[in-house]
Amino acid sequence: MLPTIQNLNLKEIREELKSGKLKLTDLVKYYLEKIETQKHLNVFISVFKDDALNHALEIQKKIDCGNAGKLAGLVISIKDVISIKDKLHTCGSKILSNFNAIYNATVVERLIAEDAIIIGKVNCDEFAMGSSNENSYFGAVLNPVDNERVPGGSSGGSAVSVAADMCLISLGSETGGSIRQPASFCGITGLKATYGRISRYGLTAFASSFDSIGIFGKNLNDIADVMEVISGKDEKDSTSAIEQVPTFSDEILKKFKPGEVKFGFAKEYFEEGLNEEIKKGILLKIEHLKNSGFDVKEISLPHSKYVIQTYYILTSAEASSNLARYDGVRYGFRSENHSNLEEMYVNTRSEGFGAEVKRRIMLGTYVLSSGYYDAYYRKGQKMRRKITEDFENVFKEVDFIISPTTPTTAFKIGEKNDDPLAMYLNDIYTASVNLAAIPAISIPAGNDSKGLPYGLQIMGNKFDEAGLLRAAKLFT
Instruction: Provide the phi-psi class of 105: left if phi over 0, else alpha when psi is between -120 and 50, else beta.
Output: beta
Interface residue with ligand GLN among 399, 427, 464, 465 (CB under 6 A) is 427
The binder of ligand GLN chosen from 130, 190, 217, 380 (CB under 6 A): 130
Angle between helices 106-113 and 220-230 (to 10 degrees): 110
Among 178, 249, 304, 442, which one carries the catalytic annotation? 178
Part in contact with ligand GLN (CB under 6 A); list of ranges 23-31, 104-112, 175-183, 374-382: 175-183
Smallest Cα–Cα separation from 139: which of 437, 354, 432?
Answer: 354
- Could you please report the per-residue DSSP string of 419-452? -HHHHHGGGTTTHHHHHHT--EEEEEEEE-TTS-
Interface segment toward ligand GLN; rule CB under 6 A; list 22-30, 48-56, 122-130, 411-419:
122-130
Sheet of 75-79: strand order equals: 44-47, 117-122, 75-79, 169-174, 212-217, 189-192, 440-447, 453-460, 400-404, 262-266, 295-299
Q: What is the Cα–Cα distance from 327 to 342, expressed in whole angstroms?
A: 10
Query: Which residues lie across from 174 on neighbouring strands?
Result: 212
User: By C-beta, is 131 or 409 nearer to ligand GLN?
Assistant: 131
Neighbours of 260 (CB within 10 A): 12
Between CA 286 and CA 181 the distance in angstroms is 20
Helix (H, G, I), strand (E, B) or coil at 156: helix
Binding mask 259-298 for ligand GLN (x = CB under 6 A): ----------------------------------------
Q: How far is the CB of 41 from ligand GLN (least distance, A)?
A: 20
Catalytic residue among 77, 131, 154, 442: 154
Nearest to 17 by CA among 63, 55, 51, 68: 63
* Length reported for the chain: 476
**Does residue number 177 form part of the binding site for ligand GLN (CB under 6 A)?**
yes
Active site (annotated) includes residue 154: yes
Stretch that binds ligand GLN, among 84-92, 126-134, 289-297, 459-467 (CB under 6 A): 126-134
**Which residue's CB is nearer to ligand GLN, number 211 or number 228?**
211
> Amino acid letter at 51?
D
CB of 434 to ligand GLN, least distance (A): 7
Question: Is residue 178 among the annotated active site residues?
Answer: yes
Contact range with ligand GLN by CB under 6 A, out of 101-109, 160-168, 172-180, 406-414: 172-180
Does 310 bind ligand GLN (CB under 6 A)? Our answer is no
Identify the active-site residue in 79, 218, 285, 416. 79
Query: Could you tell me the smallest distance in angstroms from the CB atom of residue 422 to ligand GLN?
Result: 12
Is 411 in contact with 132 (CB distance < 8 Å)?
yes
Query: Quick check: 82 binds ligand GLN (CB under 6 A)?
Result: no
Among 243, 264, 380, residue whose Cα is nearest residue 311 = 380
| CB nearer ligand GLN, residue 142 or residue 363 | 363
Q: Closest CB to ligand GLN among 104 and 178?
A: 178
Residues 77, 131, 403, 406: which binds ligand GLN (CB under 6 A)?
131
d(CA 399, CA 332): 46
Report which DSSP code applies to 416: T
Question: Site size for ligand GLN, by CB under 6 A?
Answer: 13
Binding part of the chain for ligand GLN, among 160-168, 169-177, 215-223, 363-371 by CB under 6 A, reads 169-177
Q: What is the DSSP string of 223-285?
A: HHHHHHHHBS--TT-TTS--SPPP-HHHHTTS---BTTBEEEEEGGGGSTTS-HHHHHHHHHH
Q: Which of 92, 120, 157, 176 binds ligand GLN (CB under 6 A)?
A: 176
Catalytic-residue membership of 208? no
The contact set with ligand GLN (CB under 6 A) reads: 128-131, 154, 174-178, 206, 315, 427
Residues labelled catalytic? 79, 154, 178
